Amino acid sequence: MTDLRVRKRIRMAGYDYSREGVYFVTVCAKDRHELFGSIDVGATALGRPCPIVTLTPLGECLNETIQLANKENVSIEKYVIMPNHIHMIIALSAGDRGRSPLQYVIRNIKSYVTKQAGFSPWQKSFHDYIIRTKSDYQRISQYIDENPRKWTEDCYYIASKEI
């Protein structure tokens, strides 16, 4: 019998995801393909670096979908669409019957974009971080704001494109 690979646990063990919370979420494109847009990191405004994010039609669909995801118990407080991933700060009210509203929000966003695209552009699952303090929130908010400017330093950036 072959040894089965043990899959890494991606949700925090013992945490009740059905309760209210604020989360930093990253969702990646499958195989890190740059499906959602491009970033001109050399752009400047008034002599300062000012990256220009240009969304593809799929990126525009994703942008609209994220905006529509804001509902009574869901607030996507901040987000950035990068060429091959998105970062979001999501504040959620308590879920019903022990369900995780976070997983439903992400599943709905991914599902709607998939239906519009006619194929699944997504990597399996998503990464989340539970924001517990005001300083956490401020640090992550700043990270989201600065992410396009630091695209070539991003862990999701694929440098082989420059060859």
26-71 pLDDT, tens digit each: 999 999 899 999 988 776 667 776 788 899 999 999 999 999 998 8
Q: Which long-range contacts (CB under 8 A, 24 or more apart) does 150-154 make?
A: 151/39, 151/41, 151/51, 151/82, 151/83, 152/41, 154/82
DSSP letter assigned to residue 29 = B
pLDDT digits (tens, 9 = 90+) for 114-140: 999 999 999 998 999 999 999 999 999
**Residue 145: pLDDT above 50?**
yes
pLDDT digits (tens, 9 = 90+) for 12-34: 666 776 778 899 999 999 998 99
pTM of the model: 0.82
